[in-house]
Amino acid sequence: METAAIWDKCLKSIDDKVGGSVFELWFKPIKLKQIKDDYVVVEIPNRFYKEWIEENYSEIIQNAFREQTGQELTVKYKIAEKQDKEVKKFDARIDSRRRALRNKGVFLNPKYTFEEFIAGPSNQFAHAAAMKVTEAPGRAYNPLFIYGGVGLGKTHLINAIGNRVIDSMPNFRVLYVPSEQFTNEVVAAIRHDKMGELKDKYRNVDLLLLDDVQFIANKTQTQEEFFHTFNALYEQQKQIVISSDRSPRDISDITDRLKSRFTMGLIADIQLPSVETKMAILFKKAEYQRIQIPQDVAYWLAMKIKSNIRELEGCLIKLAAHSTLTGVPITLDMAKDVLKDFLHDDERPLTVEIIQKAVADFYGIRFQELKTKKRTKEIALPRQIAMYISREHTDLSLNDIGKNFGGKDHSTVIYACRQIDKRKNADESFNRIIESLINKIKG
Ligand code: ADP
Ligand code: MG
């Protein structure tokens, strides 16, 4: 197959996965430049676009190439725009920091620091607790458990702890690990009979940062291993910081003894940011990226994007990319035009698919799974939630909703709605999860 044909196919499969507006916004402008034996080169408008793609969508791109070529290809990104010297210097600094950290085996994101973090009413408690932890790791609050919705700054904040501790206490052994990776390591260690090495790695640190702990729900052996790791570190007064998209008691399928460990220190939540905080974040990001963003555009974006700061940032990057590509400065009209497919208006009817994607995204499953017959807990709950939201926020009949979930009948939908209703009434934080999902879906 020739290059263009392969890329067309990749794009098609990416479109299937990420869906219309995200696809339009992020993937359309990407070009495939070269395919070699073990790598491909894709071209991207500018450096922030590149970072954005690398951080959010690199796996999707990698998978698309694997599906289309049957090979494991490294994806290299090339920037189309000519870069100025200052910017290059700045990038080089971040890159060298990243490399230095990696050489020490620390996988922190060098961009996520306290200096780049905006504190506001929605997050100041978590922010203050995080700062406190860096002053006296293992002494102040142990563990520190930070929770909040998607894209509200948890990963940023726990990386900031790591970055600060590394700088102020160079001999401190810091370990940052996303829970998914921890899980994979446990699985691999069991399979290759290397539990000893795993224990060495995780129990000999001064600061353990475990991101997105909700992922270890359901995974018995991972929980077991983490429980012992936790105890070992705790007894030696080593600092543990955990993030999660929900509070300890809302993580289902996690053992009680682990839950009780999570609540032994301090629990801090991050709420939805106010418009002012969102604007402050936008200006901070714009400054960092050397983008000029007018006040009215920042206000409009902050009003439009209710719940997810990553999306806010995504819009900014998209506007900047558009502006550099076309030479048109960022204005309110321009922003409305460029983002029109992405930020749909409230009047625009929701579709079941939009709902399914958002719910699946939240639960870390593929939205197609909601249409299967699978009855496992991981699928059944999200499916019920998606049915419930579809019932409440679309005009479709029960039968039509059922059809959209792989041909279920209307009684299944009624049952799902009742279940969700009941649980919402009984459990305030579950209620909040659903509300924030709905907010997010309505954008
Ligand atoms: P989470 O881990 O909660 O899903 P992240 O930490 O990945 O969210 O944050 C998403 C994006 O939003 C990141 O780019 C982060 O820098 C940015 N962000 C979130 N909150 C803030 C904040 N208070 N100040 C500055 N940037 C923020
Ligand atoms: Mg995160």
- Give 199-248 pLDDT, tens digit per residue: 999 999 999 999 999 999 889 999 999 999 999 999 999 999 999 999 99
Please state the rounded mean pLDDT for residues 24-30. Answer: 84
- CB 223 less than 6 A from any atom of ligand 1: no
What CATH number labels 3-96? 3.30.300.180
Residue 342 has pLDDT above 80, yes or no: no
- CB 151 less than 6 A from any atom of ligand 1: yes
- CB 309 less than 6 A from any atom of ligand 1: yes
Please state the rounded mean pLDDT for residues 148-172. Answer: 95
**CA 152 to ligand 1: nearest atom:** 3
Q: Which ligand has an atom closest to residue 178 CA?
A: 2
| Angle made by CA atoms 16, 17, 21, in degrees to the nearest 5 | 80
pLDDT at 25: 78
Q: Whose CA is nearest to atom 21 of ligand 1?
A: 153
**CA 112 to ligand 1: nearest atom:** 16
Residue 428 has pLDDT above 70, yes or no: yes
**CA 284 to ligand 1: nearest atom:** 25
Q: Whose CA is nearest to atom 25 of ligand 1?
A: 117
- Answer whether 0.85 is exceeded by the pTM: no
Residues of the chain within CATH 3.30.300.180 domain(s) are 3-96
Q: 275-338: which CATH topology?
A: Helicase, Ruva Protein; domain 3 (1.10.8)
Q: Which ligand has an atom closest to residue 151 CA?
A: 1
What length does the chain have?
A: 443
Count of other CB atoms within 10 angstroms of residue 426: 9
Residues of the chain within CATH 1.10.8.60 domain(s) are 275-338
Residue 256 has pLDDT above 60, yes or no: yes
Please state the rounded mean pLDDT for residues 2-12. Answer: 89
> Two tokens at 402?
């059922």
Q: Which ligand has an atom closest to residue 269 CA?
A: 1
Looking at 13-22, 117-126, 160-169, 311-320, which range is the least confident one?
Answer: 13-22
Q: Which residues of 390-419 are buried (b: 16+ CB within 10 A; e: fewer)?
A: bbebbebebeebbbbbeebeeebbeebbeb
- Measuring CA to CA, how many Å separate 254 from each of 189, 248, 249? 21, 9, 9
- CB 312 less than 6 A from any atom of ligand 1: no
Q: Which ligand has an atom closest to residue 305 CA?
A: 1
What would the pLDDT profile of 56-114 be if each residue is shown by its tens digit?
Answer: 888 899 999 999 888 888 999 888 877 777 778 888 888 899 999 998 889 999 999 99
- Measuring CA to CA, how many Å separate 80 from each of 29, 47, 93? 11, 9, 21
8 CA to centre of ligand 1 in angstroms? 33
pLDDT bracket for residue 344 (50, 70, 90): low
Residue 357 has pLDDT above 60, yes or no: yes
Residue type, 185: E
pLDDT at 427: 83
- CB 155 less than 6 A from any atom of ligand 1: yes
Q: Whose CA is nearest to atom 16 of ligand 1?
A: 156
More confident residue, 14 or 350: 14
Contact yes or no for 151/164 (Cβ under 8 A): no
pLDDT at 345: 56
Contact yes or no for 319/299 (Cβ under 8 A): no
> Two tokens at 381?
């709950």
pLDDT at 364: 87
- CB 362 less than 6 A from any atom of ligand 1: no
Question: In terms of Cα–Cα distance, which of 94, 117, 92 is closest to 284?
Answer: 117
- Separation between Cα atoms, residue 434 and residue 419, nearest integer Å: 13
Q: Whose CA is nearest to atom 5 of ligand 1?
A: 153
Residues of the chain within CATH 1.10.1750.10 domain(s) are 352-442
Average pLDDT value for the chain: 90
> Two tokens at 3?
């290059």
Residue 300 has pLDDT above 60, yes or no: yes
The CATH number of domain 352-442, selected from 1.10.1750.10, 3.40.920.10, 3.40.50.300, 1.20.140.10: 1.10.1750.10
* The domain made up of 124-270 is a member of CATH 3.40.50.300: yes
Please state the rounded mean pLDDT for residues 401-411. Answer: 92
365 CA to centre of ligand 2 in angstroms? 16
Q: Whose CA is nearest to atom 26 of ligand 1?
A: 117
- CB 354 less than 6 A from any atom of ligand 1: no
Question: In terms of Cα–Cα distance, which of 45, 89, 102 is closest to 323?
Answer: 45
